[in-house]
Amino acid sequence: MKPVVVLVRPQLGENIGKAARAMLNFGLTEMRLVTPRDGWPNPSAGPAASGADIVLEQAKVYASVADAVADCVHVHATTVRKRGVSKPVLTPEEAARDIATMPGRHAILFGPERSGLETDDVTLARTIVTVPINPEFGSLNLAQAVILMAYEWSKTAHATLRQPTQEDHLPPAPQADLDGMIDQIEAMLEPKGYYTPHSRAVMTRRNLRNMLTKPGWNHLEVRTFRGVLSTLARTERDSDSGPDRD
């Protein structure tokens, strides 16, 4: 079950919108707001959400943290400051693993931009989630904190996400294509005396083949490289023929 993101007393509409954008990037859609400072809905949230309108449209407002998490079995409070509260402290990765494996609704609390969660907010939580961070500068903005938790959850929950650049990856070239390319190279190198001395020709061919089969060429790369070889061979033939004479 997807966790609920609870923004406690958020101050700026822009930050609510950015948090919504961070959520939707990793498949989270349920946002709950506890007494937002500037009220709700907030016209500044939409542009900052950059298209994550479904999160904003479904966001619900609550009068207290207790009301916002009343239906949740597990509540996680995110903070980088000690609050004098003795509770289990988890990293985002550990918390995400609990969210993915422990049954029941989970809520993740995020405090207001200026000060973070107050001690009374943290006391409502079952666990504290904190990020290992530079001790001399422990300051994350609201959207950064949300995206950290959303990303860690997406990894453990096997969410239906994909890395955009992977769509452009072509499958490796068939072995026959590689063999053809290597044969073409060898045919060009043979008359140049590359495989001398003959006592090392077998090892030289083997080393060349190992080198050319390491990168994992796809068929377009093989075709492109063979075109380069053909061009080089044609250029050499043209130069060997000498200048035209009348």
Report the pLDDT value the prediction gives residue 237, as an integer from 0 to 100. 63
Tell whether 246 is covered by a domain.
Answer: no
Q: Domain containing 129 — which CATH number? A: 3.40.1280.10
Domain end position, chosen among 161, 182, 213? 161
pLDDT in tens, the chain (246 residues): 899 999 999 999 999 999 999 999 999 999 999 999 999 999 999 999 999 999 999 999 999 999 999 999 999 999 877 666 788 999 999 999 999 999 999 999 999 988 889 999 999 999 999 988 887 887 789 999 999 999 999 988 765 555 555 555 678 888 899 899 999 999 999 888 888 888 888 999 899 888 888 777 888 888 998 999 999 888 666 666 555 544
Question: Quick check: is 191 in a domain?
Answer: yes
In a domain, 60, yes or no: yes
| pLDDT given for residue 245 in this prediction | 47
| 3-class secondary structure, 79 | coil
102/182 same-domain check: no
Per-residue pLDDT, 246 = 47
157 plus 183 within the same structural domain? no
pLDDT confidence of residue 85: 74
With respect to residue 187, please indicate whether it lies within any of the assigned structural domains. Answer: yes
Same domain, 10 and 79: yes
CA distance 45 to 22: 13
Q: Please name the residues in contact with 85: beta carbons below 8 A apart, sequence gap of 6 or more.
A: 119, 122, 123, 128
> Are 151 and 201 members of one domain?
no
pLDDT at position 47: 96
- Name the residue range of residue 151's domain: 4-161
Give kind and range of the element (H or E) at residue 68.
Answer: helix 65-68
* DSSP single-letter state for residue 58: H
**Would you say residue 103 lies in a domain?**
yes
Same domain assignment for residues 173 and 80: no
The total of structural domains in the chain comes to 2
Q: 132 and 70 in one domain?
A: yes
Q: Are residues 176 and 141 in the same domain?
A: no
CA-closest candidate to residue 36, choices 93, 145, 118, 111: 111
CA–CA separation, 69 and 156 (whole Å): 23
Same domain, 48 and 141: yes
Check whether residue 33 and residue 143 sit in a common domain. yes
Tell me which of 161, 184, 203 is where a domain ends: 161
3-state secondary structure 192-223: HCCCCCHHHHHHHHHHHHHHHHCCCCEHHHHH
| Residue at 113 is within a domain | yes
Last residue of a domain, one of 126, 161, 196: 161
Tell me the chain's radius of gyration from C-alpha atoms: 30
Cα 22 off chain centre by: 12
Residues 117 and 183 in one domain: no
In our burial notation (b when 16+ CB lie closer than 10 A, e otherwise), range 46-75 reads bebbeebeebbeebeebeebeebbeebebb
Residue 245 is assigned to a structural domain of this protein: no
Query: Is the pTM for the entire model greater than 0.85?
Result: no
Q: Are 180 and 236 in a shared domain?
A: yes
Residues 129 and 106 grouped into a single domain: yes
Give the CA distances from residue 23 to residues 56, 140, 241, in Å, rounded to whole numbers and listed in that order: 11, 16, 67
CB 117 within 8 A of CB 79: yes
Residues facing residue 129 across a β-bridge: 78, 90
